[in-house]
Every structure is written in C-alpha cells, then in structure tokens.
Amino acid sequence: MNPEGGRDHWGNTFSVAFAGGGLKTGQAVGKSNTRGEYPVDRPLGPQDVTATVFHHLGIEARKVVFPDQAGRPIYLVESGEPIRELVG
C-alpha cells in the first residue's frame, strides 16, 4: 500500500472470496494473465462485488437512491451488476 491507500503494483487485479447460503460457490470467476498484472477473462470491479452483496441481501442496489445535500440522487451502486456465476 502506498501512503494514499492505493497499490503501486498489479493494481488492475485483486481477489475476493465469497461464502454464504445460496451462493454458487466452489468456482473461480475471471482470470488474470500469468503474472497477475491485468484481467484477461471476465473482468469485474468493486461495483460488481457490491452489487452482488446487495443482490444476495434482496436489495436492488441500482434502484435505491439517497439524496445528497443538494438533493441530487446517489445510488447504492451506479454501474455494477451482480456476478451471475454466483447468484444465478
């Protein structure tokens, strides 16, 4: 980690482990190149991970809106989609 809270190497790839009732587990979704530098198959992002968690909780995160101080909408998830391999 660098002082700003980011990664200075291989910042385009990361791993996440999911577990819990009802999820389709026991699989790897996506693939990086052999050095782990960047995704080469099924790239996903933090918004997709967040959308998957909300979906599993029964929350349609792209429809839930909270207003900011100026009254503009802030969505729980703006661009992510639930990871279909995990939720069906």
Judge whether residue 3 has pLDDT over 90. Answer: no
What does pTM read for this prediction?
Answer: 0.79
Confidence of residue 72 (pLDDT cuts 50, 70, 90): very high
In DSSP notation, 28-78 reads ---EE-TTSSSEEES---HHHHHHHHHHHTT--TTT-EEE-TTS-EEES-S
Mean pLDDT for the chain? 88
- Dihedral through CA 24, CA 17, CA 79, CA 7, nearest 10? -160
Q: What is the pLDDT of residues 57-71, one digit of tens each?
A: 999 998 999 999 999
Say if residues 65 and 74 touch (Cβ distance below 8 Å). yes
